[in-house]
Structure 1
Amino acid sequence: MSFTLKHAFQHLVGSINGLLCLADLELDETICICSPIVRQYVTLPKSKFKTGYPDIVVNSFGFSSVTGEYKVLRIFQERKDQDPRWSPSCKSEGEVFTLGTGTWSSIGHVPFLFTARTFGVLLNGNLHWDVNDIDGSGLICSFDIEKEKFHAMSPPKRNDRSNELVNLGVLGGCLSISTCQNAIESDFVIWVMQDYGVKESWRKEIVIKQVLLYYEMEVR
């Protein structure tokens, strides 16, 4: 199946119930929601945020099984320079687009540091990211799609988080986090949160010894 889109969208933000959220991050941060089955799409209105390097923009696609609403979350974080540390004085705001409304709505200040253009992992009606708090401590940030509220969750305790590659995912219906040191050879570890929201339920599920990885990893 093929149909013509206005932009050559390079990024798949998310896929839910046959709907795709696509983003052209290189051209005006354009986002569209499309249905390949019926070959239709809608382009979202432009955001109020004007971005430029080294600012961070995070886009995620979510669904509330309670309300039946599809929502796109956009988080904008201003950077004064390339310093990864985050100052409270820097702008950090979020906005939500609910499919069918035609407009973005502000959700105010976002109290977490996003270090890259990551797309949220959807589980139990929440989007999840690996983030830092204002002091630089590692956290898992969750966003309740229905209530449009942020919460913090504790990641599993690791001995060494410096120079670490981290990826969130869903494994066996549970939130998972895979970690590996950004080194020539390092153990690849997958942790699983067996009881959602309970930090004591993190378990080291899989360990692959001495894996050779370069910069990216993904678990499905």
Structure 2
Amino acid sequence: MAMAQLPQDLIEEILSWLPVKSLMRFRCVSRTWNSLIFQAHFVKLNLQRSSRNTHVLLRCQINTVFEDMRDLPGIAPCSICSLLENPSSTVDNGCHQLDNRYLFIGSYNGLVWLINLVARGEFSEYRVWFCNLATRIMSEDSPHLCLRSCNYKLWWYQVKCGFGYDDRSDTYKVVLVLSNIKSQNWELRVHRLGDTHWRKVLTCPAFPILGEKCGQPVSGTVNWFAIRKLGFDYEWETVTVDQLVIFSYDLNKETFKYLLMPNGLSQVPRGPELGVLKGCLCLSHVHQRTHFVVWLMREFGVENSWTQLLNVTLELLQAPLPCVILKPLCISENGDVLLLANYISSKFILYNKKDNRIVYTQDFNNQVPMSSHDYIQSLVLPYGN
């Protein structure tokens, strides 16, 4: 039977199972196919049927050889299988250089979010862009968020950002967490993809939000590592383990709550970092100056679902104190093999936890992986449907 004689619904069913790269090629088959591929219902169907936890997106720093140029930002979508086999080559071959005016903040369902800050006299403007790496479609910049600089702490290290998907309203949202100088509160501003404005959704008491600028998106929330105490000022040496929390913002309800640390965390960790591994919230840290530990929250929001994924000596990982900066980048499908980054020695470490051994170490080369994000190729449009 010729393809033209197949029922339209059967053609749609077949195409919905194909990878994005193939679908982008098939747009030229006919006007009907070209129109179908970017229809909202087809985009969702293809996303639902795409394989998850097979790729990650690495935020990279591209080292330059020119003394008069600073290192450049980049992002690299990578197959987890390829990363585990040869991380340096995989990152080098897949890295996309970014304009150094833009700061990469996050990725969700194939969309990548970039932001830049422009100072204009007494005001500062935030501008954001969305792009889909698989389809190579980029949005125009969003409505600008213009703030009076004297009212807020607006340097990059003072602002927290997040990007995620609210499945209940089927919308992608950007979150900025701003420190109000006068009220000494956090203010949360939200931009919904496709909207013409930003909204101030809530304020909450001041407390320190730690770690990376980018919040971690999980199950319709964005999450940051934080200290539950009033005021922005603190000394790490005085912090107690019961003050450590995860500040979690719900994209649908537009509310926040604190999530507790794992029960097995008996003391304040060294160098704690939040991330996402295989769709689960991940906490990594150094314990008692001797071990590197990784926890997964298997069921988001259920605090007793924290599970210790990894507990290995720094000696085995060839990461001696006093300087230790380790991060998990990805994990094998069966959960036995982890790829770690050691930023002191500038090496990848492939660790087999089942056999408790290092499989190999490998130099970073020119692309340094700064953070890892769950990634899936999709047809999602970067300007809303």
Relative to the length of structure 1, the TM-score reads: 0.78
What stretches of structure 2 of length at least 5 have no aligned partner? Answer: 1-95, 120-124, 231-238, 331-385
Q: 1:60 touches 1:72 (CA, 8 Å); kept in 2?
A: yes
Shift of 1:161: 0.9
Shift of 1:116: 4.9
Tell me the residue number matched to 2:327.
Answer: 217
1:204 is paired with a residue of what secondary structure? strand
Are the structure 2 counterparts of residues 116 and 47 from structure 1 closer, same or farther at C-alpha, using a change threshold of 3 Å?
A: farther
Tell me the residue number matched to 2:292.
Answer: 188
Give distance in 2, aligned partners of 1:169 and 1:209.
Answer: 21
Are the structure 2 counterparts of residues 138 and 160 from structure 1 closer, same or farther at C-alpha, using a change threshold of 3 Å?
A: same
Superposed, 1:4-15 pairs within 5 Å as: 8-15=100-107
Shift of 1:204: 1.6
Give 2:131's match in structure 1, choosing from 34, 43, 57.
Answer: 34
Tell me the residue number matched to 2:191.
Answer: 97
2:100 is paired with a residue of what secondary structure? coil
Shift of 1:39: 3.3
Q: 2:202 touches 2:255 (CA, 8 Å); kept in 1?
A: no
Q: 1:192 touches 1:205 (CA, 8 Å); kept in 2?
A: yes
1:200 is paired with a residue of what secondary structure? helix
Structure 1 runs (4+) deviating above 6 angstroms are none
Are the structure 2 counterparts of residues 173 and 110 from structure 1 closer, same or farther at C-alpha, using a change threshold of 3 Å?
A: same
Relative to the length of structure 2, the TM-score reads: 0.47
2:189 is paired with a residue of what secondary structure? strand
Tell me the residue number matched to 1:69.
Answer: 171
Q: Is 2:285 aligned against 1:179?
A: yes
Give the number of equivalent residue pairs. 207
Are the structure 2 counterparts of residues 49 and 110 from structure 1 closer, same or farther at C-alpha, using a change threshold of 3 Å?
A: farther
Tell me the residue number matched to 1:168.
Answer: 274
Q: 1:54 touches 1:79 (CA, 8 Å); kept in 2?
A: no
Tell me the residue number matched to 2:204.
Answer: 110
Shift of 1:26: 7.8
Give distance in 1, aligned partners of 2:210 and 2:181.
Answer: 11
Give 1:129's match in structure 2, choosing from 224, 247, 250.
Answer: 224
CA RMSD of aligned residues (A): 3.1
Superposed, 1:8-23 pairs within 5 Å as: 8-23=100-115
Tell me the residue number matched to 1:46.
Answer: 145
- The structure with higher relative contact order (CA 8 Å, sep 6+) is 2
What stretches of structure 1 of length at least 5 have no aligned partner? Answer: 81-88
Q: 1:56 touches 1:78 (CA, 8 Å); kept in 2?
A: no
Are the structure 2 counterparts of residues 216 and 32 from structure 1 closer, same or farther at C-alpha, using a change threshold of 3 Å?
A: farther
Deviations 1:103-125 (A, max 9, x none): 11001213342135521111111
Give distance in 2, aligned partners of 1:152 and 1:113.
Answer: 13
Shift of 1:38: 4.1
Counterpart of 1:21, as a letter, is W
Deviations 1:164-194 (A, max 9, x none): 211122234322211115x9x6311011223
Q: 1:55 touches 1:79 (CA, 8 Å); kept in 2?
A: no
Tell me the residue number matched to 1:85.
Answer: none
Deviations 1:98-146 (A, max 9, x none): 1111111001213342135521111111111111112561101111111
Tell me the residue number matched to 1:86.
Answer: none
Q: 2:172 touches 2:192 (CA, 8 Å); kept in 1?
A: yes
Q: 2:166 touches 2:252 (CA, 8 Å); kept in 1?
A: yes
Tell me the residue number matched to 1:83.
Answer: none
Superposed, 1:74-93 pairs within 5 Å as: 74-78=176-180, 90-93=184-187
Give 2:162's match in structure 1, choosing from 60, 70, 77.
Answer: 60
Q: 2:211 touches 2:273 (CA, 8 Å); kept in 1?
A: no
Deviates more, 1:192-201 or 1:109-118: 109-118
Q: 1:165 touches 1:215 (CA, 8 Å); kept in 2?
A: yes
Q: 2:157 touches 2:213 (CA, 8 Å); kept in 1?
A: no
Tell me the residue number matched to 2:250.
Answer: 144
Identity of aligned residues (%): 25
Counterpart of 2:132, as a letter, is S
Counterpart of 2:282, as a letter, is S
Which has the larger share of helix? 2
